[in-house]
Amino acid sequence: MSSVGNLKEIGSLFFRLGLVAFGGPAAHIAIVHKEVVVKRKWMDESHFLDLMGATALIPGPNSTEMVLHCGHHRGGLRGLVLAGVSFILPACILSGLLAYLYTEAVKIPNFSDYMIGVKPVVLILIFQALKKLAPKAIKNYSLAFVTLITFALCFIGVNEFISLLVGGSIGLILGLYKGDTRVKSFPLLSIFYIFTKIGAILFGSGYVLITYLQKELVENRGWLTNSEIADAIAIGQFTPGPVLSTSTFIGYLLGNSTGALVATVGIFLPSFVFVYFLNPYIPKLRDSLKFSLLLDGVNAASMGLMAFALYPLGRISFLHPGALIIFLVTLILTWKVPKLSTVYLVSISILLGSILTFFNIGQQWP
């Protein structure tokens, strides 16, 4: 097939996946594997696994970086750019639209009361992500210690990047020691800087993004509230594609459509750069013992960051007794129907919150 034909195939495939890829990074990578390795045979299993390992060595959204690697493998630099834009664009457009509707909806009297069911569901989503990722990241007692140290550092107010760096370094040192072989208006330049910085240092699952957003936008600058961050993360679950498309939503809250564009470009740009420069060195990196030990430490530390995100969200999630009711209902649903789509889960929580608010149930604690 000609290079033009390759590019058309790349664009078509990843745009379609960007429209239907719900379920988070692990699900996205499974879908990409099925399409690229099993169905189209662009590469073999071993090379796909090498690419997966490489994405974990660099910051940024893992599933998006896998898409970028596959695009580069099939179509070079043009394939990398086309695959990334095709995969990211649908989610970002939908997130921007939802952000516009959200800013209009807050004008509705008592709108926040109708949204009481959203924040508890965010807690469940983080719990689910931790349940899936923690067993892979925390493979021994040393890495469990790294997770706890990172959580503790965040709890006492240490910068999240410093916490992650310390956790990763401790993991490396312990591994070597043991001989282990395993719509407001804010400056656009500031918005771009914040989201580019996050995109350049974000290790682990996209859900770790919550911790960075809370630190940068709530604690450091006071531009948003914890409640607004929770709403953005939850409503962002309506969209397929990368979890980091939530940045489009938050960018809109900070600077309307221009802010949404700036935040989106900022958070995804580092991934394009990292993948482009890393791709030729993947065969060498996979054989590096020290890199693998450092990676284990960073992955375990990211679990600590994700767990810490539960703390500030939990404090604002149960301000109304109705929120506790919705939390219990959705928790039972996820237990009984573990494969229930995130879209359905968030939709059910909003519906329950609206019903309880309409009938004035559970609005105040006794």
Report residue 348 CA to chain centroid gap. Answer: 22
Tokens linked to 350: 């909003």
C-alpha span between 101 and 149 (Å, rounded): 40
Task: Please indicate, yes or no, whether the overall pTM of this predicted structure exceeds 0.75.
Answer: no
**Residue 182 has what pLDDT?**
41
C-alpha span between 38 and 260 (Å, rounded): 36
Q: What pLDDT, in 10s, does the model give residues 317-344?
A: 777 788 888 888 888 888 888 777 666 7
Give the closest residue to 77 by CA, choosing from 338, 279, 281: 279
What is the average pLDDT value for the chain, to the nearest integer? 78
Q: What are the helix (H) ranges across 21-61?
A: 25-33, 45-57
Q: Which residues contact 314 (CB under 8 A, 6 or more apart)?
A: 123
**Residue 180 has what pLDDT?**
46
**Residue 59 has what pLDDT?**
77
Contact between residue 14 and residue 6 where contact means Cβ atoms under 8 Å apart? no
**Residue 342 has what pLDDT?**
62
Q: What pLDDT, in 10s, does the model give residues 211-262?
A: 888 888 988 888 988 878 877 776 666 666 677 788 898 999 898 888 899 9
**Residue 98 has what pLDDT?**
79
- Phi (first) and psi of residue 364, to 5 degrees: -140, 145
Tokens linked to 73: 């493998």
**Residue 57 has what pLDDT?**
67
C-alpha span between 333 and 8 (Å, rounded): 41
SS3 89: helix
C-alpha span between 132 and 151 (Å, rounded): 18
**Residue 156 has what pLDDT?**
85
Low-confidence ranges of the chain (pLDDT < 70): 1-4, 20-27, 53, 56-57, 105-119, 122, 125-126, 128-129, 132-133, 160-161, 176-185, 203-208, 234-241, 282-287, 295, 298-299, 302, 306, 309, 341-343, 362-366
